[in-house]
Amino acid sequence: MARFTLPRDLYHGKGALEALKSFDGKRAMICVGGGSMKKFGFLDRAIEYLKEAGMEVEIFEGIEPDPSVETVMKGAEAMLKFEPDWIVAMGGGSPIDAAKAMWIKYEYPDITFEEMCKVFGIPALRKKARFCAISSTSGTATEVTAFSIITDYQKGIKYPIADFEITPDVAIVDPDLAETMPKKLVAHTGMDAITHAIEAYVSTANCDYTDPLALHAIKMIQSDLVDSYNGDMAKRDSMHNAQCLAGMAFSNALLGIVHSMAHKTGAAFADHGAHIIHGAANAMYLPKVIAFNAKDETAAKRYGEIADFINLGGETLDEKITNFIAFLRKMNDDLNIPHCIGKYGPDSYPCDQGFVPEEVFLERLHDIAVNALGDACTGSNPRQPSVEEMEKLLKCCYYDTEVDF
């Protein structure tokens, strides 16, 4: 038996934020990030709508990109004091992910972070509060997913929390919020979205309910992402829907080792100047992982189906996969994303010498490979690598060399 879970309600289209007026409750805590929601007036509108619904409202703000365990604990403490019956998370993936983890700790104050990270092991929520997610970026789709990514900076590792319990009750997908994204964020979130859809389609947990969502999302992203990056706001609006469809697919079909590698490299080199931004990591690793997974007959066939669906051409299956990889690499070029870690600069743009020195990468390679294999996303990858193969794959992602194993 399999399960397919989405939010109970999804409000979408321009002005969808107004759905907050219809919420029934006494107290709402809004969780937000670094200020863009305040700057563009969306936070004030959310507060106004919730008050119009008859609620007392409190704000927990300042959630950082790649939210930390410490931030989660502070937010949960604030919730325990305020006792909201609605948690409303708005912004990019970071504040929504953080709020999901806070929600768990709010409902179960004695739970440890390690217990929260047990895959599909969270006890039943909604004893104290329901959850609404309002996305401002077009990539993570955390507004419709059963996942949250929290960073333990002491270990330099991002941990995925995975459980259908943290699927939001309500998602608000209002393209007005996405139109405020800076150009670089459009690129990174867009490549995160296409990675979600592709990994969901080839995942060992794919099914008839997830496949159409994944394929249509890929087709929309092919059509819309680069134009959105270049300032076409109609395409920006469409991308907000595309990333949400990709999220619906992967939340139920799960992901693969592109995400495992991105999770375990993202914070691994923070002491050398910068994080590897999640969407950029996915963009760099995706072509390499496709080449690796395509050695599996079933995965190769499904990559070929994607290539056919988006009309990339090719007579043989090998040609179709080659064209698919070339299409993704060109998209990286169009979005000014480097092809490998060795060329990844502190500002995320391509450069001659990236911020991760070769000797540091090689010194940490084994531990990263082991951690990636232990990531929650690895189990549904169509081809299970050994530690040695994961090390080789990560090297290909550092040097941009061919995957021939």
Q: Would you put residue 62 in left (φ > 0), alpha (ψ -120 to 50) or beta?
A: left
Burial class (CB in 10 A: 0-12, 13-18, 19+), 192: buried
Provide the b/e sequence for 205-224 (b: ≥16 CB within 10 Å): ebeeebbebbbbbbbbbbeb
Give the span between the Cα atoms of 220 and 194, in whole angstroms.
9
| Residue 274 pLDDT exceeds 80 | no
For residues 107 and 233, give the distance between their C-alpha atoms in angstroms, rounded to a whole number: 40
pLDDT, tens digit, for every residue of 117-151? 988 999 999 999 999 999 999 999 999 999 999 98
pLDDT higher than 90, residue 159: no
Q: Are strands 157-162 and 147-152 parallel, antiparallel or unpaired?
A: antiparallel
Confidence band of 69 (pLDDT split at 50, 70, 90): very high
Given a contact cutoff of 8 angstroms between Cβ atoms, the answer to whether 348 and 277 are in contact is yes
* Alpha-carbon separation of residue 264 from 226, 288, 321 (angstroms): 28, 16, 26
Looking only at Cα atoms, what is the longest distance across the chain?
Answer: 63
DSSP, residue by residue, 140-192: --TTS-SEEEEEETTTTEEEEEE-GGGS-SEEEE-HHHHTT--HHHHHHHHHH
pLDDT band at 47 (very low <50, low <70, confident <90, very high): very high
Cα 86 versus chain centre, distance: 23
User: Which band of pLDDT confidence, cut at 50, 70 and 90, is reported for residue 342?
Assistant: very high
Report the range of poorest mean pLDDT among 145-149, 288-292, 382-386. 145-149
Alpha carbons 280 and 340: distance in angstroms, whole number: 10
Of 165-169, 291-295, 348-352, minimum mean pLDDT range = 348-352
Q: For the chain, what is the radius of gyration of the CA atoms?
A: 20
pLDDT digits 0-9 by tens, 219-252? 999 999 999 999 999 999 999 999 999 999 999 9
Give CA 173 to chain center in angstroms.
Answer: 15
User: How many angstroms separate the CA atoms of 372 and 275, rounded?
Assistant: 17
Residue 97: phi and psi, rounded to 5, are: -60, -45
Q: What single DSSP character describes residue 350? A: B
The answer to whether the beta carbons of residues 180 and 128 sit under 8 Å apart is no
Structure tokens at 38: 């305040």
Q: Residue 155 — very low, low, confident or very high, per pLDDT cuts 50/70/90?
A: confident
Residue-level pLDDT at 273: 75
- Which candidate, 101, 63, 89, 242, places its Cα nearest to that of 171? 89
Measure the CA–CA gap between 357 and 271, rounded to whole angstroms.
11
Q: Which residues pair with residue 160 across a beta bridge?
A: 149
pLDDT exceeds cutoff 80 at 92: yes
> Using an 8 Å Cβ cutoff, are 371 and 259 in contact?
no
CB contact set of 62 (below 8 Å; sequence gap of 6+): 33, 34
Task: Give the span between the Cα atoms of 232 and 172, in whole angstroms.
Answer: 22
Q: What is the distance between the alpha carbons of residues 247 and 194, in angstroms, rounded to a whole number?
A: 10
Q: How many CB atoms lie within 10 A of CB 405?
A: 12
Q: Which residue has the tokens 């609620």?
A: 55
27's enclosing H/E stretch is strand 27-31
